Chain A
Amino acid sequence: MKAIEIVGTEDTPTILLDKEGNKFELAGRSLPEDAAEFYHPVLQWLTEYAANPNPVTELNIKLEYFNTASSKLLLDVLHKVEALKGVKIIWYYFSGDDDMQEAGEEFAELIEVPFEFKTY
């Protein structure tokens, strides 16, 4: 399965989805005006991956900022991996960033996936 590698910009995140390398990461800033369009290939990739996933999937989310348009799409991303066996979300937030910590906690309440919180 071909990996997705998207280089981050000032308003879109870095995305790495690599089944062979077993690396799944979303990092940086997610502020696109049309979040649905931006996340479309990501959701599509995850749908395909879910049909034949690795035994363990650790999705690292290390976002500095995201807009409310992205928050809905992030929830969609999380829903895509929700049913996978051995899935875990590692939610990174900048030490002292209470808003980002709380955002992660709220996602954790909305979906049935184990979350691990880490500061950087």
Chain B
Amino acid sequence: MKHVYLIHKTMSEHNLILVYEGEFTQEITKSVLSMAERNLDSIGEEQNIKRKVFNVMVECLQNICKHADAMKREEERRAIFMIGKENDAYEITSGNYILNANVEGLKSKLDQINGLDKEGLKVLYKELIKNSELSEKGGAGLGFVDIARKSGQKLDFDFEPVNDENSFFSFKTKIIRSNEN
């Protein structure tokens, strides 16, 4: 039973206010969103910050759903999503398996986004929304561009090789709480 205490301790040390681990679906996404929303309401978070957190959460959770769909085995469809609350910021973190074959493409997309300033992101967003084909995948990283714009921060990410087929993709977004933003 020691793991119960360890998980509890880890969560409180990292100031995690919400953690979900398991399979992700749109139904789960809705539940996680409504839990987070109640949480932010109960601490009286400012509307603008709340909206940004909510927006980033939606894109992260729906990204996880999309990647999970591509996985063959049940254990590979499991992912993790968490929200941490520091004094000055919310940290929205997700972790999910992705195919090794997709790592390079995703990494270069994220690097491209991180190389752009506010104006560059706006141009890319408009470019993608106009041109990229509608697909179930949501297409071309529009979600990541949106996350970068809403947060105003660089995207923080990592790929952990797991085996010949998969890597574990960790992704973190910060929403600054101070008024300067």
Interface residues of chain A, those whose CB is within 8 Å of chain B, are 10-11, 31-34, 36, 65, 67-69, 71-73, 75, 94, 96-100, 106, 109-110
Contact A98/B48 with A34-B136, A106-B126 known, Cβ cut-off 8 Å: yes
Q: Which of B33, B47, B58, B139 has the most CB of A within 10 A?
A: B58
Having A65-B58, A94-B47, one finds 6 other A-B pairs with CB under 8 Å, namely A11-B30, A33-B29, A65-B54, A67-B58, A99-B55, A99-B150
B62: interface (CB < 8 Å): yes
B134: interface (CB < 8 Å): yes
CB neighbours (8 Å) of A68 from chain B are 59, 129, 138, 142-143, 145-146
B122: interface (CB < 8 Å): yes
Cross-chain contact of B55 among A32, A33, A65 (Cβ < 8 A): A65
A60 to chain B, nearest CB (A): 20
B26: interface (CB < 8 Å): yes
Contact A110/B129 with A68-B142, A68-B143, A68-B146 known, Cβ cut-off 8 Å: yes
B52: interface (CB < 8 Å): yes
Chain A's closest residue to B135 (CB) is A36
Pairs of residues from A and B, 6 with the lowest C-beta to C-beta distance, nearest first: A68-B142, A33-B26, A68-B143, A68-B146, A67-B58, A69-B138
Check A67–B59 contact: CB distance below 8 A.
Answer: yes
